[in-house]
Structure 1
Amino acid sequence: MATRVFSDEELEGLRSFPAIGRDELIRYFTLTPADEAFLRKFRRSQNVLGAAVQLSALPWLGFVPDDVPTAPPAAVGRLTRQLGLVAGDLAGYGAREQTRTDHLKEIADYLGWKQPKAIEHKELDEFLLARAMEHDSPSLLFRLGCEYLRSAKVIRPGVVTLLEKVASARTAAEQKTHARVAHLLTGERTRGLDNLLVVDPALRPTRLHWLATGPVQASPTSVGGEVEKLVFLRGLEAHSLDLSALPAERRRHLA
Structure 2
Amino acid sequence: MLNLIDVKLKVIKDYGVRDTTRWDHLAEIQQIFGYVSFSISHYKKVSKWLMRLAWSMDKGIALVKAMIEEMRRCQIILPSIFTVGRLGWETRRGAQENFYWQLTQQLTPI
TM tier relative to shorter chain? 0.7 to 0.9
The answer to whether the aligner puts 1:98 opposite 2:98 as a matched pair is no
Aligned equivalents of 1:182, 1:97: Cα separation in 2: 55
Amino acid at match of 1:151: R
The RMSD of aligned alpha carbons is 1.9
CA distance in structure 1 between the aligned counterparts of 2:63 and 2:8, rounded to whole angstroms: 37
- Name the CA distance, whole Å, in 2 between partners of 1:142 and 1:173: 14
In 2, Cα distance between equivalents of 1:185 and 1:143:
36
> Percent same amino acid among aligned pairs?
24
Q: Which residue of 2 aligns with 1:134?
A: 56
Q: Which amino acid aligns with 2:14?
A: G
The number of equivalent residue pairs is 107
- How far 1:186 sits from its partner (Å)? 2.6
**CA 1:95/1:141 → structure 2, altered by over 3 Å: closer, same or farther?**
farther
Residues 1:108 and 2:30 are matched in the alignment: yes
Which deviations, in whole Å up to 9, do the C-alpha atoms of 1:81-120 show, x marking residues without a partner? xxxxx25333332233322112211221110000012221
8 Å Cα contact 2:43/2:87 also seen in 1: no
- Segments of structure 1 that go 5 or more residues without pairing to the other structure are 1-72, 81-85, 189-255
Please show how residues 1-255 of structure 1 align to structure 2 within 5 Å: 77=5, 86=7, 88=9, 89-188=11-110
CA distance in 1: counterparts of 2:14 and 2:88, whole angstroms: 35
Amino acid in the other structure paired with 1:173: A
Extract structure 1 runs of 4+ deviating beyond 3 A: none
Give the TM-score, by structure 1 length: 0.39
Over residues 155-180 of structure 1, what are the superposed CA-to-partner deviations in whole Å (9 max), with x where a residue is unaligned? 00000111011110011101211232
Which structure 2 residue ranges, 5 or more long, are not aligned? none
Greater RCO (CA < 8 Å, at least 6 residues apart): 2
With the length of structure 2 as denominator, give the TM-score of the two structures: 0.83
SS of the residue 1:135 aligns to = coil
